[in-house]
A and B are shown apart, each in its own frame.
Chain A
């Protein structure tokens, strides 16, 4: 334990260094020869207030996209992870499929998948396939993020000690019952912080759906920027994204900290 005096001095030093650091940054930027132009083209209050409402309306589409996508991702990825954890030679084809899937979709750039499905799938001309880019954007994000999230789940499943499974099986539980009632509840609980982490990534990647024509927040800000040659609209879009991602990031950190506290107290295995 630190003494009280040490703590106060620490806070004072931290405060001072923060103030000094930011003063230097602000002075450096505001005294740059181009600051006047950068301020009027990136931090223009009038531009901000005039573009914000329309960008906020665009952001509703981002919220829809990531909410729908996340629901499918959580289920789909768990399925992939379970397939990959199946033991024995009989399940080799399923395991191989899950591995190929995870490798492939973690390897392909998201923007390419969105372009391929957003333009390519409707391009097939099949009348029973939807042509909505929002639909295909969601499909692309589900495919990409399920690959990542399945790895997160798998890490959780593999972190559960094999003795747990052995114990459950020796009590007469079937393989499925063991997975459902013993392994998964513990595994999922452990990986909630990394799951939230991927959710934050997903929220930002909804902006990529704009590249195939959907007018979401980022695309709307690009429209505004191109109309006026003023970059402030990007800032308005950033504010909206940050308003959602930062609280989630703080919440994730809080969960991690709580988890560690509980584990140190011996209340979590």
Chain B
């Protein structure tokens, strides 16, 4: 009998705490282009930051392959161009590490926008806000030279091979919905794993976006080549947008910045500077 009043007291305390924590709500400051930290633009990307999206080889103790703050590489350059349009100086831009999974997790975001080769899809757009495209991209397939698959010249010819892609990329969906191979495709949590599997010949072909394919063949897998790129009805299959939290008013600001960069030729110029090599692959039909 003695225990019951004590138990009731505990419940009362817990309930009281619950009531107060439920009642609070964060007051949002209605500015035109609010940022997570005022006077600062916080941009997220994954680590390692791979070429040609990030370049220059300016490693730091934290950023393993490229430091995005170098301004080099296509995404870094675009991010700084957007920042400039929004009125932030280079020094006001801060980069933060956002694993791909974290970019769309619910809850408050630690970044203003995330720029990490994320493809727009209608399903994803229900959860996060996407900016307009800063790059229209095609998928491509990388194979080892001298293997059976290296002689294939059509999409239909790829059906009988073991293909792989990186987790979270639209490349995997592309394999499943367009190539429809007879063997179930392998999926790797990281670029490193996918590349290693290709090197080991555990997969016959690796499907990645075209600019990444150039990096894979040039640096990551010796004796590999781009078998070709895919396109749907003469258009790019994918478009990359920066990711913002759903309903973030900053989205409109970023969109008008990207549109301005497109119309004044900045995006084209940066693509020629950083992605020039990523155009000349044969098209597989």
Interface residues of A (CB under 8 A from B): 13, 17, 20, 24, 27-28, 31-34, 37-38, 41-42, 115, 119, 122-123, 125, 131-133, 210-215, 219, 222-223, 225-231
Contact = CB atoms under 8 A, between A and B. Distances in A.
Which of A115, A222, A227, A230 counts the most B-chain CB atoms under 10 A from its CB? Answer: A227
B127 interface: yes
A31 B167 CA distance: 34
Nearest to B192: A119
A65 B189 CA distance: 20
B11 A20 contact: yes
Contacts of B128: 229
B124 interface: yes
Interface in B159-213: 164, 167-169, 172-173, 184-189, 193-194, 196-197, 199-203
A269 B114 CA distance: 65
Given A41-B127, A229-B123, A28 B106 contact: no
Nearest to B8: A20
Nearest to B100: A226
Contact of B202 (A31, A115, A133, A225): A133
Contacts of A115: 193
B29 interface: no
B15 A24 contact: yes
B4 A13 contact: yes
28 contacts: A24-B11, A31-B18, A34-B106, A38-B106, A41-B127, A119-B200, A119-B202, A122-B200, A131-B200, A131-B201, A211-B193, A212-B193, A212-B197, A213-B164, A213-B187, A213-B188, A213-B193, A215-B185, A219-B187, A222-B189, A223-B172, A226-B100, A226-B167, A226-B168, A227-B123, A228-B124, A230-B123, A230-B126
A133 B186 contact: yes
B186 A32 contact: no
Interface of B: 4, 7, 11, 14-15, 18, 21-22, 25-26, 100-101, 104-107, 121, 123-124, 126-128, 164, 167-169, 172-173, 184-189, 193-194, 196-197, 199-203, 246
A41 B185 CA distance: 27
A17 B105 CA distance: 34
B195 to A, nearest CB: 10
B22 A34 contact: no
Contacts of A223: 167-168, 172, 187
Contacts of B26: 33
A24 B14 contact: yes
A215 B100 CA distance: 19
A15 to B, nearest CB: 13
Contacts of A225: 101
Nearest to A219: B187
Nearest to A220: B187
B194 to A, nearest CB: 8
A212 B192 CA distance: 10
B149 to A, nearest CB: 15
B106 A215 contact: no
Contacts of B168: 222-223, 226
A230 B106 CA distance: 9
B184 A215 contact: yes
A175 B200 CA distance: 48
B127 A229 contact: yes
Nearest to B176: A223
Contacts of B105: 231
Contacts of A222: 167-168, 187, 189
Contacts of A211: 188-189, 193
Nearest to A225: B101
Contacts of B123: 227-230
Contacts of A231: 105
Contact of B199 (A27, A41, A123, A210): A123
Given A214-B186, A215-B186, A226-B168, A28 B18 contact: yes
A31 B22 contact: yes
Contacts of B169: 226
A131 B202 contact: yes
B127 to A, nearest CB: 4
A5 to B, nearest CB: 13
